[in-house]
């Protein structure tokens, strides 16, 4: 399946608006519901931030490829980066729901990735991490094409 | 869309943080810096989310940090008026189960009045 939209960005947080613009374009083109767009933006931000903050501990420059696919039932985000091997789908779950004084500051991003996607898949291919996250699109009411 | 915020003293020792736009990885550091200046005698820190459209885990961390800090000084935090998509994110990460959420200004004012009364009566708000 060919990606409907794709972008290659630098491993810097300044790149986040580029990814958001791509998602916005994609959602408009496919007339996806605002709720789904919000979910895709959250997934994208959480994954990219994680990769940018932890994937390049030596501070090296890297590229992250983001691709978006749509089929009838779902929207898929595919991330490919050349950072250190990291499988976000197999990390221990952060302890959620604790009173604020005891609540950990970290681990929220990974919890959100798990909760917001209907299917996750990770593989290490050579020097690349490949992460795909899918969200069901059928349960979301599509907004009217304008 | 950027983040806009305004921190004002609603009444003595009650600070209101009005947020609008996006609270995300890029904008959270601005809010962190501003929240560092919240007076240490603050008894109530209210995050007014009426006009907040988007929050990511980075934004929740900012709210967490400020809440922890105000609690350490004996104060507390509250959240006013979340849009459904913001509520959804808080629900997903089960954030701040012990922080009151007010649906509107009236609810918040009632809470603040009760808090004020407890202080005058010398009791602690439970």
SS3 category, A34? helix
Domains of chain B, CATH where assigned: 3-121 (3.30.750.24)
B92 vs A contacts (CB less than 8 Å): 111-112, 115-116
The pLDDT value recorded for residue A119 is 96
Closest to B64 (Cβ–Cβ): which among A103, A111, A116?
A: A103
What would the pLDDT profile of B3-27 be if each residue is shown by its tens digit?
999 999 988 899 999 999 999 999 9
With vertex at residue A89, the alpha carbon angle to CA B63 and CA A137, rounded to the nearest 5 degrees, is 80
- Reported in sequence order, the residue ranges of A5-137 that DSSP labels E, i.e. its strands, are 5-10, 63-70, 74-81, 119-125, 128-136
Indicate if the alpha-carbon torsion angle A111, A112, A113, A115 is positive or negative: positive
User: Is the predicted pLDDT of residue A80 greater than 60, yes or no?
Assistant: yes
Residue of B1, B2, B25 to mutate, interface with A, max A Cβ within 10 Å: B25
Identify any residues that bridge with A125 across adjacent strands, giving them in sequence order: A128
At A32-66, the pLDDT tens digits run 999 999 999 999 999 999 999 999 999 999 999 99
- Give the three-state DSSP class for A130: strand
Average pLDDT of the residues in B42-64: 96
Q: What is the predicted ipTM?
A: 0.90
Predicted pLDDT of residue A139: 52
Alpha carbons B77 and B38: distance in angstroms, whole number: 12
* Domains of chain A: residue spans and CATH: 5-136 (3.30.565.10)
Are the beta carbons of B25 and A13 separated by less than 8 Å?
yes
CB-nearest partner of B26 from A16, A98, A105: A16
* Stretch (H or E) spanning A88: none
Question: Residue B62 above 60 pLDDT?
Answer: yes
B116 burial level (CB within 10 Å; 0-12, 13-18, 19+): middle
What CA–CA distance (Å, rounded) separates B69 from B76? 9
Q: pLDDT tens, B24-37?
A: 999 999 999 999 99
Q: Residue B42: enclosing H or E segment and its boundaries?
A: none
């Amino acid at each position: 399946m060919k990606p409907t939209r794709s972008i290659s960005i630098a491993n810097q947080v300044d790149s986040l608006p580029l990814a958001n613009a791509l998602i916005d374009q994609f959602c408009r083109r496919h007339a996806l519901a605002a709720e789904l767009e919000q979910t895709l933006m959250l997934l994208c931000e959480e994954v990219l931030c994680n990769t940018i903050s932890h994937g390049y501990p030596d501070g090296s420059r890297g590229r992250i490829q983001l691709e978006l696919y749509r089929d009838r039932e779902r929207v898929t985000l595919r991330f490919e980066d050349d950072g250190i091997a990291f499988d976000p789908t197999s990390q221990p779950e952060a302890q959620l729901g604790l009173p604020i004084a005891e609540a950990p500051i970290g681990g929220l991003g990974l919890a959100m990735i798990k909760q917001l996607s209907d299917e996750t898949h990770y593989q290490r291919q050579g020097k690349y991490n490949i992460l795909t996250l899918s969200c069901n699109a059928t349960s979301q009411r599509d907004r009217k094409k304008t | 869309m950027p983040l806009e915020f305004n921190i004002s003293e609603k009444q003595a020792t009650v600070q209101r943080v009005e947020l609008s736009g996006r609270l995300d990885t890029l904008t959270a550091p601005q809010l962190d810096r501003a929240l560092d200046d919240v007076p240490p005698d603050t008894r109530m820190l209210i995050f007014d989310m009426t006009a907040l459209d988007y929050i990511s885990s980075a934004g929740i961390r900012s709210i967490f940090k400020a809440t922890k800090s105000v609690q350490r000084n004996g104060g507390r935090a509250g959240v006013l008026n979340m849009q459904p998509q913001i509520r959804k994110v808080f629900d997903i990460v089960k954030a701040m189960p012990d922080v009151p959420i007010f649906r509107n200004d009236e609810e918040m004012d009632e809470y603040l009045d009760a808090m004020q009364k407890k202080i005058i009566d010398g009791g602690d708000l439970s």
